[in-house]
């Protein structure tokens, strides 16, 4: 078994004249759960489609389970579980027929796991897919993916439409799935809590680029949040080395900074003076700071939506 489950090398994809994924390079080791985070349109799904060999890269290359993604054979595909964004399944089929449709194509099919999963979502096997709620459909989709007993699990926004209980169940399932230590999960999601809970590593995509490729612990260690009293508008604050994002919370100005050193600390002191204090950094605030670089996180009602600063 290859020690690198997923690898991308200068992976680039254009749609028309627009580069949607730009020179992305990363390796995902076997036996890890990696969270893929990014705003809508950041290129996450395009990246996953290229990894799955469903979309040709414009430039660069990628491989999964040691096989070039553009040359994936049926036997390699059978080792990969892929939950498609939107939880696609054939609406005319019943849940049982969907299972038969999938089990025919995956040699390691686990019918018990499928049965258990759909029971957990309260789905009858005889129900037609088109009659299911969005959450139930998501449950069927996850059941169809997990029951193939894959070595590599690629989940594209699997929690979409799931209720909190089902979300937790999904997280538990992923952790259970990883118990052997030889499997790998790439989990794309907007739900930062879930990502923090189940992932070892995190990839943050901003405007088609990977800005963060790190373990969750290292990520939290290197990103820090500082607050101070300042009347400056976030977009007018002077240059701070390593500043990811600045935003205002009431009268306090929050500065999210990576790899704080003396220089950046001095620069922040010039803004906040003695009121400058280091706050507890959280995973979601750190990630949002990265994601806010390409889009404002201010209220939609705020007149000047560019009231936050990214330097």
Partner 1 sequence: MNALLRKEIRDAVRWLPLGVVLLGVVLTYVCRSTDAPQLSTQLFTVTWFSTMLYGLFLSLVTFLPDEREAARAFLIQRGVAPEQILRTRILVGLAVYGLGMFIPLGILAAYLAAIGPEHSPVSSWQVVPALAAVVAGSIFYFAGIVISCRSASWFGTRLLPLAAAVGGSFLSISILAGASLWVTMPFYILSCISSLLMAFAARHAFVRMPSQVSPARFISESLVLPFILLASSLLVVGALGLLPINFVSQSTYRYAFTEFDKDGMPIYVVRERGVEAFETIPMIDPAESPPEHIEIAEFGTPFMLGLLAESLNRFDPTRLQVMGDRQVFLEPSGYLLVYRMNQGIGLRIESVVSADGFSLPNEPRGKPFQKISLVSRISFSPIANLNFARPNSAPQPSNEATDWQLVTNEGIWKLDLEKRTMESVLKESIDLFAFPSVGGDAKIVIQSGDSLRVYKRDGDESSKFSIESSFQIAAKAGGFLCYRDNDNWTYIDGYGKQEVFNVTRTLAGKTHEYAFSLPAEAFKSLGRVREESPFIFAALPALLTVGSLLLLQSFSTFNQFEFAPLFLQMLASIVLTIYATHRRGLGMRSTVVWCLLAGLLGLGVPLAVIAIYPVVVYETCTACTKRRRVEHANCEYCGAEWDTLPTEGIEIVESETVKKLAAVG
Give the footprint of partner 1 on residues 233-262 (CB under 8 A): 241-244, 258
Closest to partner 1 by CB, 27 vs 172, is 27
Q: Determine, following the binding rule CB under 8 A, whether residue 101 of this chain makes contact with partner 1.
A: yes
Distance between CA atoms of residues 148 and 171, nearest Å: 18
Helix (H, G, I), strand (E, B) or coil at 182: coil
117, 188 in Cβ contact below 8 A? no
List residues bridging with 151 in a β-sheet.
Answer: none
The residue from 94, 213, 296, 298 that contacts partner 1 (CB under 8 A) is: 213
Q: Which stretch binds partner 1 (CB under 8 A): 104-112, 118-126, 228-236, 274-282?
A: 104-112
Least distance from partner 1 to the Cβ atom of residue 56, Å: 4
Closest by CA to 245, choosing from 224, 229, 266, 261, is 224
Closest by CA to 213, choosing from 1, 65, 6, is 6
The residue from 66, 97, 116, 298 that contacts partner 1 (CB under 8 A) is: 97
6, 27 in Cβ contact below 8 A? yes
Closest to partner 1 by CB, 187 vs 243, is 243
Distance between CA atoms of residues 175 and 104, nearest Å: 27
The residue from 105, 131, 133, 302 that contacts partner 1 (CB under 8 A) is: 105
Helix (H, G, I), strand (E, B) or coil at 249: strand
Q: Determine, following the binding rule CB under 8 A, whether residue 106 of this chain makes contact with partner 1.
A: yes
Least distance from partner 1 to the Cβ atom of residue 133, Å: 18
The residue from 66, 82, 147, 266 that contacts partner 1 (CB under 8 A) is: 82
Q: Determine, following the binding rule CB under 8 A, whether residue 89 of this chain makes contact with partner 1.
A: yes
Distance between CA atoms of residues 297 and 215, nearest Å: 25
Mark residues 273-292: x for contact with partner 1 by CB under 8 A, - for none: -----------------x--
Distance between CA atoms of residues 284 and 219, nearest Å: 11
Closest to partner 1 by CB, 23 vs 275, is 23
């Amino acid at each position: 078994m290859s020690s690198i489950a997923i690898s991308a090398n200068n992976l680039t994809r254009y749609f028309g004249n627009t580069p949607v994924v730009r020179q992305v390079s990363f390796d995902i080791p076997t036996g890890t759960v990696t969270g893929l985070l990014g705003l809508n349109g950041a290129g996450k799904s395009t990246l996953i489609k290229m990894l799955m060999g469903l979309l040709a890269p414009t430039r660069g290359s990628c491989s999964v389970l040691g096989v070039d993604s553009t040359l994936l054979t049926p036997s390699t595909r059978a080792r990969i579980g892929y939950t498609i964004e939107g939880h696609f399944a054939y609406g005319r089929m019943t849940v049982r027929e969907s299972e038969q449709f999938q089990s025919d194509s995956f040699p390691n099919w686990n019918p018990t796991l499928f049965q258990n999963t759909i029971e957990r979502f309260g789905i009858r096997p005889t129900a037609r897919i088109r009659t299911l709620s969005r959450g139930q459909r998501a449950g069927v989709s996850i059941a169809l993916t997990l029951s193939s007993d894959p070595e590599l699990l690629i989940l594209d926004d699997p929690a979409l439409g799931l209720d909190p209980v089902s979300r937790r169940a999904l997280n538990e399932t992923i952790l259970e799935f990883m118990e052997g230590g030889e499997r790998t999960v790439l989990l794309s999601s907007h739900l930062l809590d879930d990502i923090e809970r189940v992932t070892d590593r995190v990839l943050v995509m901003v405007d088609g680029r990977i800005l963060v490729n790190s373990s969750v612990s290292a990520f939290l260690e290197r990103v820090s949040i500082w607050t101070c009293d300042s009347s400056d508008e976030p977009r007018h604050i002077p240059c701070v080395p390593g500043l990811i994002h600045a935003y205002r919370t009431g009268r306090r100005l929050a500065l999210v900074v990576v790899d704080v050193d003396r220089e950046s600390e001095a620069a922040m002191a010039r803004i906040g003076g003695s009121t400058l204090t280091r706050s507890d950094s959280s995973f979601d605030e750190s990630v949002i700071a990265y994601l806010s670089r390409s889009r404002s996180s201010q209220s939609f009602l705020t007149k000047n939506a560019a009231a936050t600063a990214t330097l």
